[in-house]
Structure 1
Amino acid sequence: MSEILKQLSDEGVSIWLDDISRERLRTGDLERLVKDKHVVGVTSNPTIFAKALSKGSAYDDQVRDLAVRGVDVEEAVRAITTYDIRWGCDVLRPVYDRTDGLDGRVSIEVDPRLARDSEKTVAEARALWWMVDRPNLFIKIPATEEGLPAITAALAEGISVNVTLIFSLERYDKVIDAFFAGLEQARANGRDLSKIASVASFFVSRVDTEIDKRLDKIGSDGAKALRSKAGLANARLAYALYEEKSGTTRWKALKDAGARPQRPLWASTGVKDPDLNDTLYVDELVAPGTVNTMPEATLVAEADHGQVRGDTVRGAYDDARAHMAALKDAGVDYDDVVKVLEDEGVEKFEASWLELLGSITGELDSKRAGA
Structure 2
Amino acid sequence: MNQNLDRLADQGVSIWLDDLSRERLASGDLENLIQDLRVVGITSNPTIFAKALTAGTRYDEQIGDLARRGVGVEEAVRLLTAYDVRWACDVLRPVHEASDGLDGRVSIEVDPRVAHDTAATLAEARALWWLVDRPNLFVKIPATVAGLGAITAALGEGISVNVTLIFSLDRYDKVFDAFLDGMEQARKSGRDLSGIASVASFFVSRVDTEVDRRLDRTGSPAGRALRGKAAIANAGLAYQHYEQHCATPRWQALAAAGARPQRPLWASTGVKDPAYDDTRYVDQLVAHGVVNTMPEDTLRAVADHGRITGDTVRAEYAAGQRVLDDLRTVGVSYEDVVHVLEDEGVAKFAASWHDLYQALEQRLNTKVE
Q: TM-score, normalised by structure 1?
A: 0.99
Q: Does 1:297 align with 2:301?
A: no
Measured in 2, the distance between the counterparts of 1:100 and 1:359 equals 40
Q: Report the equivalent of 1:146.
A: 146
Q: Report the equivalent of 2:326.
A: 326
Identity fraction in percent: 67
Q: Does 1:54 align with 2:54?
A: yes
Measured in 2, the distance between the counterparts of 1:285 and 1:44 equals 21
Equivalent residues in 2 for 1:179-218, closer than 5 Å: 179-218=179-218
Measured in 1, the distance between the counterparts of 2:360 and 2:23 equals 17
Measured in 2, the distance between the counterparts of 1:6 and 1:249 equals 34
Q: Report the equivalent of 2:110.
A: 110
Matched residue pairs, number?
369
Measured in 2, the distance between the counterparts of 1:261 and 1:248 equals 12
Q: Tell whether the 8 Å contact from 2:89 to 2:104 is kept in structure 1 after alignment.
A: yes
Equivalent residues in 2 for 1:246-265, closer than 5 Å: 246-265=246-265
- Where 2:145 maps in the other structure, the secondary structure is coil
Q: Does 1:91 align with 2:124?
A: no
- Where 2:106 maps in the other structure, the secondary structure is strand
Measured in 2, the distance between the counterparts of 1:308 and 1:224 equals 27
Q: Report the equivalent of 2:8.
A: 8
Q: Tell whether the 8 Å contact from 2:54 to 2:360 is kept in structure 1 after alignment.
A: no
Equivalent residues in 2 for 1:106-185, closer than 5 Å: 106-185=106-185
1:257 Cα shift?
0.4
Measured in 1, the distance between the counterparts of 2:205 and 2:172 equals 17
* CA displacement, residues 306-343 of structure 1 (integer Å, 9 cap, x when unaligned): 00010000000010011110011110001100000000
Q: Report the equivalent of 1:18.
A: 18
Measured in 2, the distance between the counterparts of 1:322 and 1:85 equals 41
User: Which sections of structure 2, spanning at least 5 residues, go unmatched?
Assistant: none
* CA displacement, residues 227-246 of structure 1 (integer Å, 9 cap, x when unaligned): 01100000000000000010
Query: Structure 1 runs of 4+ off > 2 angstroms?
Result: none
Q: Tell whether the 8 Å contact from 2:116 to 2:145 is kept in structure 1 after alignment.
A: yes
Q: Tell whether the 8 Å contact from 2:200 to 2:262 is kept in structure 1 after alignment.
A: yes
The letter for the 2-side match of 1:280 is: R
Q: Tell whether the 8 Å contact from 2:109 to 2:140 is kept in structure 1 after alignment.
A: yes
Measured in 1, the distance between the counterparts of 2:353 and 2:206 equals 20
The letter for the 2-side match of 1:355 is: D
Measured in 2, the distance between the counterparts of 1:362 and 1:5 equals 42
1:3 Cα shift?
1.4
The letter for the 2-side match of 1:347 is: A
The letter for the 2-side match of 1:257 is: A
- Where 2:33 maps in the other structure, the secondary structure is helix
Measured in 2, the distance between the counterparts of 1:105 and 1:195 equals 13
**Aligned-residue CA RMSD (Å):** 0.4
* CA displacement, residues 227-281 of structure 1 (integer Å, 9 cap, x when unaligned): 0110000000000000001000000000000000000000000001001000000
1:53 Cα shift?
1.2
Q: Tell whether the 8 Å contact from 2:117 to 2:147 is kept in structure 1 after alignment.
A: yes
- Where 1:194 maps in the other structure, the secondary structure is helix
1:2 Cα shift?
1.4
Q: TM-score, normalised by structure 2?
A: 1.00
Equivalent residues in 2 for 1:211-226, closer than 5 Å: 211-226=211-226
Measured in 1, the distance between the counterparts of 2:119 and 2:55 equals 34
* CA displacement, residues 85-137 of structure 1 (integer Å, 9 cap, x when unaligned): 00000000000000000000000000000100000000100000000000000
1:55 Cα shift?
1.2
The letter for the 2-side match of 1:90 is: D
